[in-house]
Structure 1
Amino acid sequence: MSESERHRRRWTNSCYECRKKCCWFFKKLVVFCFSQIGIVCLVVGYALLGAAIFGALEEPKEELNRVLVKDIRNKTLQRLWWLNENLFVFERQNWSRAVEKVLVDFQTEIFVAVTSAGWDGREEDYSGVSEWSFTGALLYSVTVITTIGYGNITPKTILGRMVTIVYAFIGIPLTMICLANIGHVLSISFKVLYKRLVCKKEKRETNTTSDASSKYLFANPQNVKTEDDENEAQFVMSDTERVKDTRVPVYVCFVLVIAYILLGTVLFSLWENWNPFKAGYFCFITLSTIGFGDVVPGHSLENWASPAKRVICSLYLLFGLTLISMCFSLMVDHVRDISRRFGQWIGLLKREGD
């Protein structure tokens, strides 16, 4: 075998090994992405990617709008000064008419700058956290993929709107799958915890009952074996019962959701100086994914001095939606029972004894 043929064979073998390793790595990556941890990492990475993209697309436009608004304000001042300097009008009606025309034009230009161009009301030399900073864009990305969509911050560039369509088209199904999976896992974990707590409570009640009837059992020794056997069989059945058959009461799910809303109420009341009703209203509208946008954290000029607040708000949204998904998973069995009973009551389904 010649040297060139050996070299070509080694090259072919190395390419085959490289391709085999790439296929193995790709399979492992796909399996990881569709696992519980992998899909969470995908959603987190997708939100961070969206924050970087939207920040790069929209933040220059936001800074440019501040400069344009400054030009509008300076032009209005010049027009007012020209009226006072060159228009010798001593009648109040004529002066009011001329100044009103200038102010109406200024009002129209400011309205266009706010609604169409996205001006946030800040000066051109503003040194704080902008709306489209990384944390602001992260909050926007989270509201897009969770279908909340406050509407207080929206892309103003054509490219930003096109990217939003593609971003939501991919991110919304991915987020829904992630929330459903996490909710299912948390519901199973909560069932295990609830089952252990109920079993401990039943054991304490059984021990109390046994102590109360010890005199009777001592006086009637023929019944001791029977009572012990029944208690033992009861505990064995409780221990061998499957977790998926455990039913968590509906009121427990409502208590969890209400507690989480109260936690957000306290949090946003302290951060935003809102009254408790306003903060609770915001938490409910957010967790229900209604997202009116009439009450939004950081909407005033003084808020969001720290970018950490936006990150914590994003985490609050994600954990809250996960909690809602878990509660829905816990209530599925109850909803099925109620639907079956209702169907039997109206005659759509046959009763078990029929």
Structure 2
Amino acid sequence: MLTDEERLTRAHVRQVLGVRRSSLLLLLYVVFYVAYLVTGGLVFAALESPAEMHLKNKVNNARNAFLERYSNVKDEDLEELIQEVVRASNRGVSAARNVSGEPNWSFGQSLFFSSTVVTTIGYGHVTPLSKVGKIFCIVYAMVGIPLTLVLLTALVERLMVPATVLLQFLNSRLGHLYQPFNIRLLHLSLVVSLLVGVFFLLPAGIFASLEPEWDFLDSLYYCFISLTTIGLGDYIPGDSPNQPYRPIYKVATTGYLLVGLTFMMLTLTVFYDIPQLNFGLFFLMRSDEMTGDPEKVRLQTPGAVGPKYTQQLDDGGTGRRAVVRVKSRRDDSPSPEDTTPVHARP
């Protein structure tokens, strides 16, 4: 029988070892992440530098040809015109249409801009020009981003119902043949296939047919960059000259982005519901590592991996102890016996 002092000492040792383990794993992950960023920088530099040099040479040749054709134009005047055009282009005003195309702040364009702000996609091709517009954009984003997150979360919660039904069906049909983890992987694969087919490949084909200067790869690239909220802004639908029905096109693209982001969040939720694939759990300092009293109820992070904890309570003065079993909210610990949530079991 261990004394209270021995139990506290062992609990302290477990706490120190647990914190050191999670901190070491986090340090190794940071090193790996920095190496990943450096590798990305090197690869992008190697891939894009030749294309950049080719484009620079093309621009220089076009500039020199223009000066040779129009010898009465001074190089300084041409440079001033180019800088003015570049400044306007960076603010969303294109000189390619002689500044006479549809304005950027029509209703369709403005609705599209609003959606890119509140969804944090932020293409950056069109930005507020006035000071009042910039202030309104700040306030609008501060209110709109949380509202969008609440909306997407609520929609994902409802989409999890049919996703769970699909998981139940797979368990009922394949549970006697495969391990629960393998069934969860099959379930995730089906959800990912639906995401790729309906929200990447199909829209990419539509954009490729509507945008005169986009091929299928450009369109697929746009869909991925948008639905992952990277939003580089190098490809924007509906901005080509003489685009028919541009306001309707922009509104339809806004709807696509909202629905696509919802399904993207659903896919991530299904992914993180598989404990073996949720690598972030390795870096958590769990509560049983942070407390020195082993008799307290261990509170577990929702969805975290861990054993079923118990708490012993004194039953009055009888000397008997009642055992209270405390389980995590999701009963999907990574034991090889069963990793399926209780609500998704047949």
Once residues 341 and 145 of structure 1 are traced to their aligned partners in structure 2, the CA distance between those partners, rounded to angstroms, is: 29
Give the equivalent residue in structure 2 for 1:168.
Answer: 141
1:188-337 superposed matches below 5 A: 188-196=161-169, 199=172, 201=173, 249-259=187-197, 260-273=199-212, 274-335=214-275
- Structure 1, residues 174-225: CA drift from partner, whole Å, max 9, x if none? 10111011111101222224534664x569x99xxxxxxxxxxxxxxxxxxx
Q: TM-score, normalised by structure 2?
A: 0.53
Partner letter of residue 231 of structure 2?
G
Deviations 1:80-137 (A, max 9, x none): xxxxxxxxxxxx99x9476333323322333333335x423334554xx432111110
| Counterpart Cα distance in 2 of 1:257 and 1:191 | 16
* Structure 1: distance between partners of 2:280 and 2:120: 32
1:18-72 CA distance string (max 9 Å, x none): xxxxxxxxxxxxxxxxxxxxxxxxxxxxxxxxxxxxxxxxxxxxxxxxxxxxxxx
Asked if residue 100 in structure 1 is aligned to residue 79 in structure 2, the reply is no
The residue type equivalent to 1:322 in the other structure is T
Distance 1:144 1:335 in 2: 33
Alignment CA distance shift 1:159-1:130 (3 Å): same
**Aligned mates of 1:319, 1:151 — CA distance in 2:** 21
Task: Tell whether 2:125 aligns with 1:152.
Answer: yes
- Alpha-carbon distance between aligned partners in 2 of 1:125 and 1:328, rounded to the nearest angstrom: 43
CA distance in 2, matches of 1:314, 1:340: 32
* Map of 2:9 onto structure 1: none
In the alignment, the residues of structure 2 paired with residue 177 and residue 350 of structure 1 have an alpha-carbon distance, to the nearest angstrom, of: 29
Does the aligned pair in 1 maintain the 2:170–2:187 contact within 8 Å?
A: no
Q: Distance in 2 between matches of 1:341 and 1:137?
A: 41
Could you tell me how far apart the structure 2 residues matched to 1:295 and 1:279 are? 8
Q: Residues of 2 paired with 1:341 and 1:174: CA distance? A: 28
Q: Say whether the 8 Å CA contact 1:148–1:286 is kept in structure 2.
A: yes
| Cα shift readout 1:238-271 (whole Å, capped 9, x = no counterpart) | xxxxxxxx99722122212211211111111111
The aligned residue for residue 61 of structure 1 is none
Is the 8 Å Cα contact of residues 120 and 131 (structure 1) preserved in structure 2? no
Q: CA separation of 1:328/1:109 partners in 2, compared to 1, >3 Å: closer, same or farther?
A: closer
Aligned partners of 1:287 and 1:320 also within 8 Å: yes
Which structure would you say has the larger Rg? Answer: 1
> Percent sequence identity over matched residues?
31
Task: Report the Cα offset of residue 320 of structure 1.
Answer: 0.4
TM-score computed with the length of structure 1 as normaliser? 0.52
Task: Give the secondary-structure state (helix, strand or coil) at the position aligned to 1:150.
Answer: coil
C-alpha spacing 1:180/1:295, structure 2 compared with 1 (3 Å): same
Aligned to 1:186: 159
Task: Identify if the C-alpha distance between structure 1 residues 161 and 272 changes in structure 2 by more than 3 Å, giving closer, same or farther.
Answer: same
Gaps of 5+ in 2: 1-66, 178-183, 284-288, 290-304, 309-334, 336-346
Contact 2:118 2:141 in 1 (8 A): yes
- Structure 2 SS opposite 1:107: helix
Helix, strand or coil: the match of 1:249?
helix
Q: Is the 8 A contact 1:183 1:325 kept in 2?
A: yes
Please provide the CA RMSD for this pair. Answer: 3.6
* Aligned AA (1:266): G
User: Do the aligned residues in 2 keep the contact of 1:114 with 1:120 (CA within 8 Å)?
Assistant: yes
- Given that residues 156 and 265 in structure 2 are in contact (C-alpha distance below 8 angstroms), is that contact kept between their aligned partners in structure 1? yes
Structure 1 segments unaligned to the other structure (5+ residues): 1-91, 207-245
CA–CA distance in structure 2, aligned partners of residues 112 and 350 of structure 1: 56
Aligned residues: 215
Q: Conserved in 2, the CA contact under 8 Å of 1:131 and 1:153?
A: yes
Structure showing the higher helix proportion among its residues = 1
Residues 286/339 of structure 1: CA separation in 2 closer, same or farther (3 Å cut): closer
Which residue number in structure 1 is paired with residue 87 of structure 2? Answer: 112
Alignment of 1:11-22 (within 5 A): none
Find the counterpart in structure 1 of residue 107 from structure 2.
134
| C-alpha distance in structure 2 between counterparts of 1:340 and 1:296, whole Å | 34
SS at match of 2:122: coil
Q: Deviations over 1:133-172 (max 9, x none)?
A: 1111000000000000001111111111111000000000
The 1:340–1:152 alpha-carbon spacing in structure 2 relative to 1, beyond 3 Å, is closer
Q: Partners in 2 of 1:190 and 1:292 — Cα distance?
A: 31
Q: 1:135 to 1:341 in 2, by over 3 A?
A: closer
1:323 aligns to what SS in structure 2?
A: helix
CA 1:166/1:336 → structure 2, altered by over 3 Å: closer, same or farther?
Answer: farther
* Corresponding residue for residue 237 of structure 1: none
